[in-house]
Structure 1
Amino acid sequence: MASANVVDNSDHSRFDLLVDDKPAGLVAYSRRGDNIELVHTEVDPAYEGHGYGSLLARSALDAARAEGLRVWPLCPFIQSFLKQHPEYLDLVPQTQVTRFKLA
């Protein structure tokens, strides 16, 4: 079984997914004060279909929670993930929950 790990690559403003120590995906972000905008998620096609997108989303949201950040889910994949995982909606300002119809 492949070993997957997500690391915060803050120098490049992204969370990197490594599968068996090889780059396999990312969540790009922008930090602004106490806010983090999750702007883009991608998984290399060779790694699709194994839940790595969800691992990336969960890791980014867990990191935001740990740092006390508000999440602005600009990425459609993150929006979709939030609709399926309402336990993370407390991280999103209500205006953005309404804007993106997350609840």
Structure 2
Amino acid sequence: METIKLELDEKKHGAFNLYVDDKKLGEMTVSIKPDLLTVYHTGVEPEAEGKGYAKKLLEEMVAYVRANNLKVLPLCPYVHAQFKRHPDEYEDIWKK
């Protein structure tokens, strides 16, 4: 079973980390300001590819952003591609 944890340092830089059985298999690197969450990178370990983990990280990040009334600056190619592919789904949180 996978678990996703938002782990930040004191400057609010960090990642949504995805763990399976206490092993980190994916991450979405972010920084958070009072009204903005910037996504820099999404990555999944090679042995965990193809299991939908990047999508789960995206869903967790989007839920966090909506719960905290933030906008998203998608510098990560994966997140940017998803926002472009599904603009209606992310229009409310996408900082263009």
> Under TM normalisation by the shorter chain, which class is it?
0.7 to 0.9
Give TM-score scaled by structure 1 length.
0.82
Report the equivalent of 1:69. 70
Separation in 1 of the partners of 2:18 and 2:42?
10
RMSD: 1.3
Gaps of 5+ in 2: none
- Structure 1 gap segments, 5+ residues each: 97-103
TM-score normalised per structure 2: 0.87
Deviation at 1:83, TM superposition (A): 2.9
Q: Which moved more, 1:68-77 or 1:10-19?
A: 10-19
Find the counterpart in structure 2 of residue 20 from structure 1.
21
Letter in 1 for 2:31: S
* Larger relative strand fraction: 2
The residue correspondences of 1:75-94 to structure 2 (distance < 5 A) are 75-85=76-86, 86-93=88-95
Task: Choose the corresponding residue for 1:8, options 6, 9, 29.
Answer: 6
1:17-56 to 2 correspondences below 5 Å:
17-56=18-57
Following TM superposition, by how much is the alpha carbon of 1:33 offset from its aligned partner in structure 2, in angstroms?
Answer: 2.1
**Distance of 2:33 and 2:4 partners within structure 1:** 22
Structure 1 ranges of 4+ moved more than 6 A: none
Using the aligned pairs only, state the percent identity. Answer: 36
